[in-house]
Chains A and B, each alone.
Chain A
Amino acid sequence: DTGVSQNPRHKITKRGQNVTFRCDPISEHNRLYWYRQTLGQGPEFLTYFQNEAQLEKSRLLSDRFSAERPKGSFSTLEIQRTEQGDSAMYLCASSETTGTDYGYTFGSGTRLTVV
C-alpha cells in the first residue's frame, strides 16, 4: 500500500472556474477526511465519510463545495465558481474505526491557486 494518494499535486485555476480533486485512501481504511490548510495556519476540518456516507460537514464547506465518496473507496472534492479565498492546500486523510492503534494517515495534499 502506498498510503493516501492525492491528485493533482498542484492546480492553478482562474477565478470562477470549477475544480475537482481526488483522494485515494489506504484501502482498508473506512473513514476519509478532507481538510483545508492556508499559509501559517493549521489544517481546518471540512468534511468526512465513513464508507460512502458523509457523516459531518463543517460550516467552512459552503454551497460551492461538494464532496463524494462513491462506493466507499476514493473521494472527490469539487469547488464550483472558485474564488481567490479558496487558494489553499487541500488535505485528505484516512483512518480505521476499529482497533486501538487508530490514527490518521495524511496525503501530501493538493495545492490550489486561484488567480
Chain B
Amino acid sequence: GDSVTQMEGPVTLSEEAFLTINCTYTATGYPSLFWYVQYPGEGLQLLLKATKADDKGSNKGFEATYRKETTSFHLEKGSVQVSDSAVYFCALSRNSGNTPLVFGKGTRLSVIA
C-alpha cells in the first residue's frame, strides 16, 4: 500500500541554519504530496503542496520539489527561525487529492537562538 517515510527526529538547529527534512514515498499512480506542520498546542496546518512531478511547493520560506524519479519530496528552508520549531509531517494523497491522506511519522524540529 501507499506509504511515506521521513527522517526521524528530533532535529535541533541554531537560528539561521539550513534545514532539510527528507521524505520519500511509495505509491501507485501519481499522488499529490504535502507537508503539514503542527505547532505546539495547535492543529495540523498545510505548509505546502505539489500535485505533479517537478512541481515546487513553497510557503513561508519553505520549499519542496516533487521528484518522481527518486520518489522524494524533501523539505528545505535556507534560514530557520525559532518560530519554526514544530513537528513537520510529509503526506501523500492518491490521485489528485481530496482522498485520504497517508502521513509519515513526523519530524520534530527545535530551533535554538
In the complex, A107→B42 CA distance in Å? Answer: 9
B27 CB-CB contact with A under 8 Å: no
Which of B43, B46, B98, B105 touches A42 (beta carbons < 8 Å)?
Answer: B105
The answer to whether B100 has its CB under 8 Å from any CB of chain A is yes
- Cα A33 to Cα B43 in complex, Å, equals 14
Q: Hey, which chain B residues are within 8 Å of A107, CB to CB? A: 43
Residues in chain B near residue A43, CB distance under 8 A: 44, 89, 101, 103
* B44, B89, B97, B105 pick with most chain A CB within 10 angstroms: B44
B103 and A103 contact, CB distance less than 8 A: no
A44 touches B97 (CB 8 A): no
Judge if A68 is at the interface, Cβ distance under 8 Å.
no
Q: Can you name 14 extra interface pairs (CB under 8 A) apart from A42-B105, A58-B100, A107-B43?
A: A31-B98, A33-B101, A41-B106, A42-B89, A42-B103, A42-B106, A43-B44, A43-B101, A45-B101, A97-B98, A102-B97, A103-B49, A104-B44, A108-B42
The answer to whether B91 has its CB under 8 Å from any CB of chain A is yes
Task: Give Cα distance in the complex from A41 to B103, angstroms.
Answer: 9
- Residue count of chain A within 8 Å CB distance of chain B: 25
A41 to B36, CA, bound (A): 14
- B79 CB within 8 Å of chain A: no
Q: Please state if A104 and B105 are interface contacts (CB–CB under 8 Å).
A: no
B101 & A102 in contact (Cβ 8 Å cutoff): no
Whether A74 sits at the interface, judged by CB under 8 Å, is: no
**Residues 81-110 of chain A, each 1 if its beta carbon lies under 8 Å from chain B, else 0:** 000000000010101110000111011110
**Taking the complex as formed, is B71 at the interface, i.e. its CB lies under 8 A from any CB of chain A?**
no
Nearest chain B CB to A52's CB is how many angstroms away? 17
Contact (A96, B98) CB under 8 Å given A42-B91, A43-B44, A107-B43: yes
Chain B's nearest CB lies how many Å from the CB of A8? 15
Mask of A44-67 contacts with B, CB within 8 angstroms, 1/0:
110010000000101000000000
Q: Are B100 and A48 in contact (CB under 8 A)?
A: yes
A41 lies within 8 A of B102 (CB): no
Q: Complex formed: what's the CA distance from A58 to B101 in Å? A: 12
Closest chain A residue, CB of each to CB of B102: A45
